[in-house]
Amino acid sequence: MITFVYSPQWFYGIDIVIDLVSMLVLFLIAFFGIRYFLLDRNNKNYLFLATSFLMLSAAFFFKILTNFTIYYNVLETRHFGLFSLTYQTLESSDLLFTIGSYLFRLSTFFGLLLILNITKKQPLSSNIIISVLFLVLSYYAQNLFHLFHAICFFLLFFITLNYIQKYKETKHKTTLMISYSFAMITLSSLIFYFMIYGKIFYAIAEIIQLSGYILFLITFITILRCGKDCDYSKKEFSNGNYEKNGNEKHGKKKDKT
């Protein structure tokens, strides 16, 4: 099996640290999403939000695992010249790389698909068709690298559009910050697509992606610090029933008059 290393040599290890930070940010959001669901079990979107971010966090774990395997092989090949030793190591690492890569793609895809459904409900039939197509293409496609990043880009693009539309309706600052976060992650997904034209694109995409997740963390910390005064922001973050509750309040006012 041939293993491709898209990272520049000077970026070895740095991308693992970046992905580790992104993984922890996503896990933190998932953890608090579960806490909010336990406090408000009627709002299932908190549970869906936690599940989606937990899947994305797991995706980064699998990515780190595969990257570590690649860099270990590269470094060992350079330090040890015995053919038998190198060959045995590659044989044992290929299975780990293949499984880790596949789980990374699956976790990322279904995590993003779930977030898309949180921001705007999609028909069940559409979700099933998209999922089946992705699984089939993942198995048969020769240029899976291009396919995967193209699919991620379009999922992230529509997620970003949904949050921008929500900001136009609510004018909430935290919703705008979430929109910026997804926009940066969408841009990084687009840049990842061009890695075949130069390894520098991988480093650029990783840095932009990290910036997007850091902005996510800042947004989430802002929401936590607001407490009850920013309760609407939590619902905006999970696309809860804030607007519905608002309409109900207006309805009560009209009943009084």
Rg for the chain, CA atoms, rounded: 21
- Does residue 228 lie in a domain region? yes
Mean pLDDT, to the nearest integer, of 16-32? 90
Residue 2 within any structural domain of the chain: no
Q: Does the predicted model carry a pTM greater than 0.85?
A: no
Report percent pLDDT > 90 for the chain. 25
Q: How confident is the model at residue 248 (pLDDT cuts 50, 70, 90)?
A: very low
**Domain containing 192: what range?**
9-241
As a whole number of angstroms, the distance between CA 97 and CA 58 comes to 15
* Model pLDDT, residue 243: 42
200 or 229, which is more confident? 200
Is 252 within the bounds of a domain?
no
Q: Which stretch of 4-13, 29-38, 217-226, 243-252 has the lowest confidence by average pLDDT? A: 243-252
Whether residue 239 has pLDDT greater than 70: no
pLDDT at 190 over 60: yes
Token reading at 72: 């270990």
Most confident listed range (26-30, 37-41, 126-130, 140-144): 26-30
Closest among 212, 218, 213, 220 to 237, alpha carbons compared:
220
Residue 164 lies inside a defined structural domain of this protein: yes
- 81 occurs within a structural domain: yes
In a domain, 246, yes or no: no
Task: Please give the tally of structural domains in the chain.
Answer: 1
Amino acid 160: pLDDT: 94
Q: What is the pLDDT of residue 143?
A: 59
Residue 33, domain member (yes or no)? yes
Indicate the pLDDT class of residue 12, thresholds 50, 70 and 90: confident
- Which of 32 and 92 is assigned the larger pLDDT? 32
Q: Which long-range contacts (CB under 8 A, 24 or more apart) does 2-10 make?
A: 3/70, 3/73, 3/94, 3/97, 5/70, 5/71, 5/74, 6/195, 6/196, 6/199, 6/202, 7/67, 7/199, 7/202, 7/203, 8/199, 8/200, 8/202, 8/203
Q: Is residue 75 part of a domain?
A: yes
Per-residue pLDDT tens for 55-70?
999 999 998 888 776 6
